[in-house]
Structure 1
Amino acid sequence: MNKIYNFSAWWMLCFILLSSLTFTACDTNDVDTNQYKGGISLNVFGPSPVARGGILRFLGCGLDQVTAVQIPGCDDITDIEVVSSEEIRITVPQTAEPGYVTLVFRNGEHIVTKTQLTYSEPISMESFSPESVRPGDVLTIKGEYLNLIHQVIFADNVIVSDETTGQESVEGENVFLKHTRNEIQVLVPAEAQSGKIILSDGAEFPNWIYSELELQVVIPSVSEVIDLSEKKPGDKVTVTGENLDLVKEVRMPNGGAASFVYSEENKSVTFTLPEDVSNGTVFAVTASGVEVAVAEIKVAVPENVVVTSADGIRAAQLLELTGKNMELITSVLFPGVTEETIPSSSTSTKVTVVVPEGTVSGNLTLNTGSGATVSIAIETAKPSNLSCVGEVKAGEQATITGDNLDLVSGVVFTGNLEGEIISQSSNQLIVSVPALAQSGNVILKMSNGEQVSDLNLTVTAPSGCYVISGLEGEYHAGEIMTVEVANGAKLTAVNINGTPVQYILTGNQLMIQIPNTAGSNSSLELTSGDKTIEYIISFVPAVRPETVIWEGSFAITNWNGNQDLGWNGYDWGSVQPGTIITVYYTLDTAVTDWQIRLGGCGIGWAELPTIPATGLAAGSTSFSATLTAEDLEVLSKDNNSGLVVTGCNFTMTKITLK
């Protein structure tokens, strides 16, 4: 049944009435009784003629300030329905007489209508029967001058019209079955709700006549709301009661609809619980939208859950969970993991699931389709039964034994110094001990973020030469650094970033020449025979001048190459690792694809080991890369076989080293 609203034409009428007038926007702060000029004004009222006992409406501005309406033949009307500041409504008394209507405002000012109010024939609604109906029943309304009525309006604004309104009709449903001066018969629409009936003349500004009594529209009913405890998706539920044939939808607690079947013989509705059923109330819903509670659901959840080997859990392990109602589990959320894991298999008593990477100890969350969750504690495997073989010396290697050592991803010694893992298995871990490591607890870190600190080590001084003064100072590349060492007599070599450097040892004072190429995170190695102790130092980089090693103009079009710095064209053996090479160029703007490759002449123009071929950005003028020891080895071998620059669609103009 369509709900019909007859307002568009009425608003057009208002527009026509007002189009010849000029007025400002409403302002209810100041009282201005000059009509149609803003402030407080009356723009239109109606209907006129109006039925006594009908609704009279007033439209304008500031009408919420009206305290009384005066109609000839009546006492002041103070029972005013304020729809908004732009509209008020009153019920016309039976004693009302024709004449001008006066609006009285709270400040004592008045507005009098420009035209007189007149009255229509005395339409009346004397009775309706039956007083209780089902949708589809015939409702009979009796009264006087009902031939002037063209609409019967049920709650909630469900309209049945006669054929004169021009509304589209479905025969027998939203048309009058009988229409005389004293009687109207209509079918009660499926969408109708209990409430007062309104008779309307269907005019653009309609007369509305309300019934004194409320029409009772029958809705489905049950003797009691049934208890559906421990229910599962797929379970069938049957509800018995009266008028269940009026049910149009069975609505689940989460708002979803369940399919259902009505049995006239059993006066019942049977529905199946959906996969996402949740706890709450189940409603039978009528065509009018009225909800009738028919059941309370408490969905079953997994119970008595046990994790097989809940301790010592590892990533990639197939975890087995047993219990009751296990088939309800739709996903599993492991502690420490953000994404849910779908079970590998599922029965009513057992679920298996693969443990994802990143799982930590904590509560395992079992999710169900209803939204209910169950938690159970799990404990991940961790390094245990830890001990250390032999004496632990700074700068040398230590062997740690125990269980689950293959899970270790890092070893941190006292002083927040991390050692390098040399080798590991499930029961043994060999790690380098930092030269500045101190005695105390060692932290074994795991890839899932967990850590163990159950191992306490006594770290002794290195057997070879080592630094005892600390390395917290600021050291500049290209300058000399001085440190205090022990066992200096055993020192045989000093390397920085793998390259031997000059040094002078005077007593326990060691002076070291820092290469110009040294920078952040550089390696300082003190070698004593077959023992080497490494320190990581961030040197302040030296400011090095940019040296031009080639300049000119060479067009590189389609992977041709320039070998001027190859085949002994430059002494690459004199270049230090860490040197920055820069190629300057001009791009060919006629194309949009530009590429460059720094290759070795002695390796068939293949790219250097750590500098891959790359595309050049539009508008760019240079390409820079850092030469490593591996790159320089290629360039300097075979008597400086050297560099080839190749690529496409640019003209090379200069090459520099810095």
Structure 2
Amino acid sequence: MKAINKLTAAVMASLMLMSGFAFTSCDDDDDDFSTEQYVGGVSLNVFGPCPVARGGELRFLGSGMKHIQSITLPGSGDITDIKVISDNEIRITVPQDAMPGYVVLHSSKGDITTKTLLSFTEPISLDKVSPLTVKAGDVLTLTGDYLNLISEVIFADDVAVSEEEFTSHSRYEIKLPVPAEAQSGKIILSDGAEIPNWIYSEDELTVTLPAVADVLDLTGAKPGETVTVTVSNVDLVTKVIMPNDDEVEFTVDGDKLSFVLPANVTDGTICMVPASGVKVAIATIGVALPEDVVAEPASDVWAGDIVKFKGVNMELVTSVTFPGVADAVEPSEKSATEISVTVPEGTQSGNAVLSTGSGAGIEVAISTLKPEAVAYNPSPAALAGSLTVSGRNLQHVAAITFAGSTTVEVANPSATEFTLTVPATLSAGSNTVTLTLTNGETVEVAAIELSAPECAYATVLPGEETEINAGETFIITIANADKLTGVKVNGNNVQYILNGDRLIIQVPENAGKNSNFTLVSSNGEISYDIAVIPATHVENVIFNQVINLDWSGDEGVNKFRIYKESFEGVPSGAKLVFHITPAGDAPQIQVNDANWGTIVTLEPAVDATLAEVELTADVLSRILGTDDGWSTTALVIQGQQCVVSKVHVEWENSLETVIWDAGWTCSGWGGNQDLAWGGYDWASVKPGQILRLYLTPLVAEGEWWCVSLRHGDGWGNLPAPFPAQFDTPASPLEIVLESYIIDDLVAGNGLVITGDGYTVNKITIE
């Protein structure tokens, strides 16, 4: 058998010297070793191995190697069959007639001659491999010459057998056991040098694999079925793998191999694998699926109902996913012909998906129970009046929407009717009606005819361009003015003036951006949501008299009192402000409680016009909690060389409304649903309001954490462009509630808060 030699080492251990360059030689002299980089142009750095086997590969490393046109070896002449690996490496096969001597590389730029002689190893030869077909554990015999120099035999895919494992080793013969991991292909003899000589066999070795006469066709097979196949050399099988690469247990009885199809078996090829890792096909499978499936009932279903799905192969169904619901439901009963499933909350009309363990699924249409035969009483109905909606299947109605835009929540509907107050902001005449069900579905029903209200109502409301300021008045025109008995803002009575059909309303200073105005009549009431420009700065004058402070003077002239009534509703952090004119070079204002205990003594500058005291929670508590036993005195003010002309309290009104402050720690994507599923009325929120989440991260500074805001139904993401999550946000996290966000929160059953690595302390809306 012909011997073929190949050099495969990546780095030469023996380096050569070329003329004109300081290259290392192939001897072991440490002084010749160099770490010099490639110098560019056409230059040779190293070549090897040295010594080399005739028939083996000789490698040349340097710069511009692709420009080498031929290489002269002593005894062989010019060699032009050059294998170009890269610009830095070329290779040639050493002819059998090559002799020791200098090697010359030829290029158009000139010749390069090595400074070290090329030398040769003993002529290792591999003449015969026997047998050429083997099985793991068989003894392989290699014959040739100088085989005593071989330290390793390498099978395909780098499966190596060292000389310690040879059963026989001489100059002319090597015997060794075929390893279990061996694969078919050429074998390699290696001398084990640092840069080894490799001698390839001319013929390929065939390693026996387990085999089947015919690959089984398992089309229509079901999980749980046992598959048995006749396998030659079955003792070589180490594992059986499914199409998804999962291993399954198997048994062997003689030449029979058996295994059970797992629940998650998928379409594809089933293989057996010996120790070598080579996959051998056993069978192809097309997994059976449920067929001819129908739902009973298929219509008028609702959460809590039992639906039976009937058909063929129904025992394969592992779960059912209902439309509108993220989580799958497992069957409560199952047989080969039918399964029983309880319909989950949130199910909508659409296709239920019946899934099998293989991950495949089939779809079956179902529809939910819908309202029918809807009628209205009275008809026409008056705006702001009571309305009864009657019909069938009304028990699941959550809200009713008039004219496509005005929605009213429905409380405690029965199967046949529910009542509500018609919104006063609708237009008289025909209005469309949409019912929203508790599962989120909507149903268009008969239109309703509406008439003007019988109580006092606004015929013209302020337009968007009208500015209404907290603390000021505004005017609206009303009808049925004779029925008006009062006006409320955000549930509190306010002052008003009625002049014919013109109603002047006093807006409270604490009115927020979206305030509710109610016209109360003797025969009913109507409410309107009206935008108000809040009065964030509050300034109340609590003393307005000129007092010349003098320690020895009289009360009312040189000292004065301020009473507890002046501090009702004043928040902590407010300021008590004295308007002053200093009357000397050492002005002082002493602020005392009702029992003349000093709270603070102010010493304003001689040119000051104001002097301030911060009303902290402790100061306010002392002001309101100190009792002199005979009056409602809060403060006694005295001092010297200072004239006080006025005193006021001031503060900034926060427009934020706390909607949740229970405190909750989020880790591992848990969820807080306190503001979902009716926990907060998101329909009351107006576009442009700001949602703020006050957060405390639980991770070290710079580490990742995130907040994800979702709607209640299935914890689904809010619609784009709303972000799926906020990574390491600032606190408070501020969200401008645009219309599409509010609409989704209303339709999707509120807000769910999730994410990882933080505590949410409170949530506000401004």
TM-score, normalised via structure 2 length = 0.66
**2:395 and 2:415 in contact (8 A); partners too:** yes
- What SS does structure 2 have at the residue aligned with 1:564? helix
Per-residue deviation, residues 220-247 of structure 1 (Å, max 9, x unmatched): 2222211012222222111224223222
Corresponding pairs, count: 548
Q: What letter corresponds to residue 512 of structure 1 in structure 2?
A: I
Which among 221, 224, 227 is matched to residue 234 of structure 1? 224
- What SS does structure 1 have at the residue aligned with 2:534? coil
Matches within 5 A, 1:35-434: 41-46=44-49, 48-60=50-62, 63=65, 66-83=68-85, 86-105=88-107, 107-163=108-164, 175-264=165-254, 267-391=255-379, 392-414=381-403, 416-434=405-423
- The alignment status of 1:461 with 2:474, answered yes or no, reads no
Q: Which residue of 1 aligns with 2:506?
A: 513
Shift of 1:255: 0.8
Equivalent-residue separation in structure 2 for 1:497 and 1:181 (angstroms): 107
Task: Return closer, same or farther for 1:203/1:497 CA change in 2, 3 Å cut-off.
Answer: closer
Matches within 5 A, 1:458-607: 458-472=449-463, 473-546=466-539, 549=567, 552=599, 564-565=624-625, 569=632
Q: What letter corresponds to residue 382 of structure 2 in structure 1?
A: K
Q: Which residue of 2 aligns with 1:651?
A: none
Structure 1: give runs of 5+ residues left out of the alignment.
1-5, 34-40, 164-174, 583-614, 618-658
Equivalent-residue separation in structure 1 for 2:404 and 2:185 (angstroms): 81
- The alignment status of 1:23 with 2:36, answered yes or no, reads yes
**1:221 and 1:242 in contact (8 A); partners too:** yes
Per-residue deviation, residues 427-457 of structure 1 (Å, max 9, x unmatched): 1111110112133211111233211122200
Task: Return closer, same or farther for 1:369/1:199 CA change in 2, 3 Å cut-off.
Answer: same
Q: What letter corresponds to residue 443 of structure 1 in structure 2?
A: T
**2:536 and 2:654 in contact (8 A); partners too:** no
Equivalent-residue separation in structure 1 for 2:435 and 2:395 (angstroms): 11
- What SS does structure 1 have at the residue aligned with 2:186? strand
**2:13 and 2:194 in contact (8 A); partners too:** no
Equivalent-residue separation in structure 2 for 1:339 and 1:507 (angstroms): 61
Equivalent-residue separation in structure 2 for 1:581 and 1:225 (angstroms): 76
**1:407 and 1:446 in contact (8 A); partners too:** yes
- The alignment status of 1:449 with 2:440, answered yes or no, reads yes
Per-residue deviation, residues 84-106 of structure 1 (Å, max 9, x unmatched): 5554443211111111223345x
**2:477 and 2:503 in contact (8 A); partners too:** yes
**2:9 and 2:195 in contact (8 A); partners too:** no
Shift of 1:314: 1.5
Q: Which residue of 2 aligns with 1:168?
A: none
Q: What letter corresponds to residue 235 of structure 2 in structure 1?
A: D
- What SS does structure 2 have at the residue aligned with 1:332? strand
TM-score, normalised via structure 1 length = 0.76
Shift of 1:566: 8.3
Shift of 1:306: 1.9
Task: Return closer, same or farther for 1:399/1:72 CA change in 2, 3 Å cut-off.
Answer: same
Task: Return closer, same or farther for 1:155/1:397 CA change in 2, 3 Å cut-off.
Answer: same
Q: What letter corresponds to residue 21 of structure 1 in structure 2?
A: S
**2:12 and 2:48 in contact (8 A); partners too:** no
Equivalent-residue separation in structure 1 for 2:331 and 2:633 (angstroms): 64
- What SS does structure 2 have at the residue aligned with 1:458? strand
Per-residue deviation, residues 113-161 of structure 1 (Å, max 9, x unmatched): 2211112222211112112111211111111222222222211221222
Shift of 1:32: 4.2
Task: Return closer, same or farther for 1:426/1:75 CA change in 2, 3 Å cut-off.
Answer: farther
Equivalent-residue separation in structure 1 for 2:485 and 2:151 (angstroms): 114
Q: What letter corresponds to residue 403 of structure 1 in structure 2?
A: R
Q: What letter corresponds to residue 95 of structure 1 in structure 2?
A: D
Task: Return closer, same or farther for 1:463/1:233 CA change in 2, 3 Å cut-off.
Answer: same
Task: Return closer, same or farther for 1:479/1:155 CA change in 2, 3 Å cut-off.
Answer: same
Q: Which residue of 1 aligns with 2:562?
A: none
Per-residue deviation, residues 15-41 of structure 1 (Å, max 9, x unmatched): 9879842423x58xx5242xxxxxxx4
- What SS does structure 2 have at the residue aligned with 1:455? strand
> Which of 512-521 and 454-463 deviates more?
512-521
Q: What letter corresponds to residue 624 of structure 2 in structure 1?
A: D
> Which of 56-65 and 306-315 deviates more?
56-65
- What SS does structure 2 have at the residue aligned with 1:409? strand
Per-residue deviation, residues 264-304 of structure 1 (Å, max 9, x unmatched): 3xx23212222221110011212112111120011112222
Q: What letter corresponds to residue 352 of structure 2 in structure 1?
A: L
- What SS does structure 1 have at the residue aligned with 2:315? helix
Root-mean-square deviation over aligned CA pairs: 3.4
Percent of pairs with identical residues: 44
Shift of 1:59: 4.0
**1:423 and 1:431 in contact (8 A); partners too:** no
**1:9 and 1:204 in contact (8 A); partners too:** no
Shift of 1:352: 2.5
Q: What letter corresponds to residue 516 of structure 2 in structure 1?
A: S
Q: What letter corresponds to residue 431 of structure 2 in structure 1?
A: G
Shift of 1:412: 1.3
Task: Return closer, same or farther for 1:305/1:189 CA change in 2, 3 Å cut-off.
Answer: same
- What SS does structure 2 have at the residue aligned with 1:195? coil
Shift of 1:570: 8.4
Equivalent-residue separation in structure 2 for 1:180 and 1:260 (angstroms): 43
**2:75 and 2:98 in contact (8 A); partners too:** yes
Per-residue deviation, residues 194-245 of structure 1 (Å, max 9, x unmatched): 1112112222222211111111112222222110122222221112242232
Per-residue deviation, residues 362-386 of structure 1 (Å, max 9, x unmatched): 1111222111111111112222221
Equivalent-residue separation in structure 1 for 2:441 and 2:422 (angstroms): 21
Equivalent-residue separation in structure 1 for 2:453 and 2:155 (angstroms): 98
Equivalent-residue separation in structure 2 for 1:95 and 1:616 (angstroms): 83
Equivalent-residue separation in structure 2 for 1:84 and 1:274 (angstroms): 51
Equivalent-residue separation in structure 2 for 1:96 and 1:79 (angstroms): 15
Q: What letter corresponds to residue 351 of structure 1 in structure 2?
A: I
Q: What letter corresponds to residue 526 of structure 2 in structure 1?
A: I
Q: Which residue of 1 aligns with 2:560?
A: none
Equivalent-residue separation in structure 1 for 2:653 and 2:459 (angstroms): 32
Task: Return closer, same or farther for 1:42/1:295 CA change in 2, 3 Å cut-off.
Answer: same
Q: What letter corresponds to residue 360 of structure 2 in structure 1?
A: A
- What SS does structure 1 have at the residue aligned with 2:482? helix
